[in-house]
Structure 1
Amino acid sequence: MKTVAEILRSKQHAAVYSVSPSASVLDAISLMAEKGIGALVVLDGNRLAGIVSERDYVRKVELLERSAFSAKVSDIMTAEVITIGPRDTSQHCLQLMTDRHLRHLPVLAEGELIGLLSIGDLVKETIAEQAGLIQQLEQYIRGE
């Protein structure tokens, strides 16, 4: 079972995109669309202030008939962010995401943002681990 640090090192697209709390919601969703991502970390300077996702946009802007032009990221972001550390395991992260209905987990090391894991990153890792285990078991059965 891999650690968060190992998963981050193996990610092809390790860039973490961010937005400030004072940015417009339109700027945030435009950046998400441009980068093909579902969430942005919200940074106030270097401090993690929250996370904003497409889900936040749909639930807190569209459904409430707010304007994406005038609403600020701070109006719709999740401020109480659940984070993980580089030594946490993929199993722990999957359990946390399942229990809390999360799709993204910011990774902090000594209070500093070092990455972002998505549910897709963890599913990909789990599939790779299981494929490796299956291959080992098949080789064992064949006596190799």
Structure 2
Amino acid sequence: MQTASQLLKQKASQSILSVAPHSTVYQALQLLAEHNVGAVLVLDEGKLVGIFSERDYARKVVLAGKTSAVTPVAEIMTSRVLCVPPSATASECMALMSEKRIRHLPVMDGDKVLGVLSIGDLVSAKIAEQQFTIEQLEQYIYK
């Protein structure tokens, strides 16, 4: 079973995308679109203070009648961010994400952000693990 740390090392892009709390929602949306991701961390002087996702935008800006060009991210971000340590297993991460109905999970080592795992990262890891198991079983059967 892979750990969160191992999964982060396998990601194509290991950069941590973030915006400041005073950034506008529009600026955050531009970053999401530029990198084709669904969420971005909100960091204040390197400290994790929230996460901004497409879901936040849809529910707290559009439906609330706010304007993305002037609304600061801090006003609508999710400030209670669920995180995991680098030692968390892929199964533990997936269970947490399913239970809490979230799609992005920061990996933290103390106060330091190591990266973010998406539900897609975890599904890909699970598929690879199952494929490995199938191959091992096929080799065992055909020997």
Partner of 1:49: 49
State the shift of 1:56 in Å: 0.3
Q: Give RMSD over aligned pairs.
A: 0.6
Query: Share of identical aligned residues, percent?
Result: 44
- 1:29 is aligned to 29
For 1:24 and 1:110, the matched residues in 2 are separated by 28
1:66 is the counterpart of 2:103: no
Secondary structure at the counterpart of residue 13 of structure 2: coil
1:133 alignment partner in structure 2: 133
State the 1:110 CA deviation.
2.0
The match for 2:16 is 16
Per the alignment, residue 94 of structure 1 pairs with 94
Amino acid paired to 1:133: T
Residues 75-98 of structure 1, C-alpha deviations (whole Å, 9 max, x = no match): 110001000010000000000000
Structure 1 stretches (4+) deviating beyond 6 angstroms?
A: none
> Partner letter of residue 37 of structure 2?
I
| Alignment deviations for residues 37-68 of structure 1 (CA, whole Å, 9 cap, x no partner) | 10000000011000000110010001111100
> What's 2:107 paired with?
107
SS in 1 for 2:84: coil
Shift of 1:125: 0.3
- Code of the residue aligned with 1:32 in structure 2: it is L
Q: Equivalents in 2 of 1:115, 1:76: separation in Å?
A: 22
Q: Which runs of 5+ in 1 are unaligned?
A: none
After TM superposition, the score normalised by the length of structure 1 is 0.98
Q: Secondary structure at the match of 2:107?
A: strand
- How many pairs align? 143
Separation in 1, partners of 2:131, 2:13: 22
Partner of 1:7: 7
SS in 1 for 2:48: strand
Distance 1:96 1:7 in 2: 16
CA distance in 1, matches of 2:108, 2:135: 34
2: CA distance between counterparts of 1:24 and 1:44? Answer: 14
> What is the distance in 2 between the residues matched to 1:14 and 1:124?
16
Q: Offset at 1:139?
A: 0.5
CA distance in 1, matches of 2:131, 2:123: 12
* C-alpha separation in 2, matches of 1:58 and 1:110: 31
